[in-house]
Amino acid sequence: MTVNGKSVSGDVEGRTLLAEFLREGLKMTGTHIGCDTSQCGACVVHMNGEAVKSCSVLALDAEGAEVMTIEGMANPDGSLSVIQQAFQDHHGLQCGFCTPGMVMSAAALLKDNPKPTEREIREYLEGNICRCTGYHNIVKAIMAASGQDVGAIAAE
């Protein structure tokens, strides 16, 4: 498969999950595993341009796919992407455990819907859990990353 534009390969068992292959096979630990029930979204990556929970995809099923992980989100010069910068600017993270998945989900959302409403952002993030409950600033960060005013976001 291709991960962040680089061709990679490895031997895996039939049961190996994409999340495990990324973390243990490729030592790319930016993709987190926060549950074993496919609920938390910490493991979200893009596969062939779509956001997927990499704990729910067998590595074998990603054979030949184009995978993008959080390690591939920064700009080529190493600076933060617009979304990452917005998370930093708007305090969209606390412990940071959910952040890779949140950023990957946000990127997928903004690709399909460049100016989402607050409600659309909240609905899209239904599959991403922040155990620090930092949702308000995460929503703010995504609004800001889409170039929208964040002043009107209701405090929750």
- Residues lying near ligand FES in the complex (CB under 6 A): 33-35, 38-43, 53, 55, 93-99, 130-132, 134
Residue 91 vs residues 37, 85, 136, 150: alpha-carbon distances, Å: 28, 10, 10, 13
Q: Which is nearer to ligand FES, 39 or 75 (CB)?
A: 39
- The rounded distance, in Å, linking the Cα atoms of 34 and 39 is 9
Q: Which of 71, 143, 131, 133 is nearest to 106 (CA)?
A: 143
Residue 95 C-beta: closest distance to ligand FES, Å: 3
Q: Which is nearer to ligand FES, 34 or 116 (CB)?
A: 34
Residue 31 C-beta: closest distance to ligand FES, Å: 9
Q: Which of 51, 96, 73, 125 is nearest to 140 (CA)?
A: 125
Residue 77 C-beta: closest distance to ligand FES, Å: 26
Q: Which is nearer to ligand FES, 6 or 27 (CB)?
A: 27
